[in-house]
Chains A and B, each alone.
Chain A
Amino acid sequence: DTAVSQTPKYLVTQMGNDKSIKCEQNLGHDTMYWYKQDSKKFLKIMFSYNNKELIINETVPNRFSPKSPDKAHLNLHINSLELGDSAVYFCASSLGATGGSAEAFFGQGTRLTVV
């Protein structure tokens, strides 16, 4: 069983379209995240949710809207896609209550290409 699974794995779409990436974790964690890895391989946090509540929003354009229907799911919806949104998006989860010692589990990533 995959601990953190993302769908789709690859997404190619045209500029201006709206797309969603889904993430599910079966680890019983209460905190989930979205990270973005750009073409230079730099990984940066975008959002985090704890118990369905938004905790971190790292100055991401409001075209990006995360939604957490329950603790096991965190989806990422992107409106009006731009060329610069092309990147690999990683979902992750951890047990928030253990604070700084919590290890995070990452999904395999969704490679988004905007043409």
Chain B
Amino acid sequence: DAKTTQPNSMESNEEEPVHLPCNHSTISGTDYIHWYRQLPSQGPEYVIHGLTSNVNNRMASLAIAEDRKSSTLILHRATLRDAAVYYCIPKSNAGGTSYGKLTFGQGTILTVHP
């Protein structure tokens, strides 16, 4: 499993953009980069994923470095509801015992101030 490094915590003000960084320098060439978040007292929730190109969806944008050793999750306008733990997870495309497996690290605790 590729190792990830994320800041323990970050803070933002409501309606401002937030850039959440992740280093995954040991990522395999075929691993997808997934981001999940976990709101208080809830199960993890899928946010976005990508392989090489930058990706946008209704929740966020994902910027992937050209060498794929890092990525940044971008919340364009943070709301109070975005306060959560954000996990960056390289996900294997292989079968066998890696099949579908998500390996969670410590994540980044995002605090959003009103």
Contacts and interface: CB of A to CB of B under 8 A. Distances in A.
Contacts of B36: 104
Interface residues of B, number: 30
Contacts of A96: 99-100
Interface residues of A, number: 28
A45 B100 CA distance: 10
Interface in B38-94: 38, 41-46, 49, 51, 85, 87, 91-94
A99 B100 CA distance: 6
Interface of A: 4, 31, 33, 35, 41-45, 48, 50, 55-56, 90, 92, 94, 96, 99-109
30 contacts: A31-B100, A35-B104, A41-B85, A45-B103, A48-B99, A48-B100, A48-B101, A55-B96, A56-B97, A56-B99, A56-B101, A90-B43, A90-B44, A92-B44, A92-B102, A96-B100, A99-B94, A99-B95, A100-B30, A100-B51, A101-B93, A103-B49, A104-B44, A104-B100, A104-B102, A105-B46, A106-B43, A108-B43, A109-B41, A109-B43
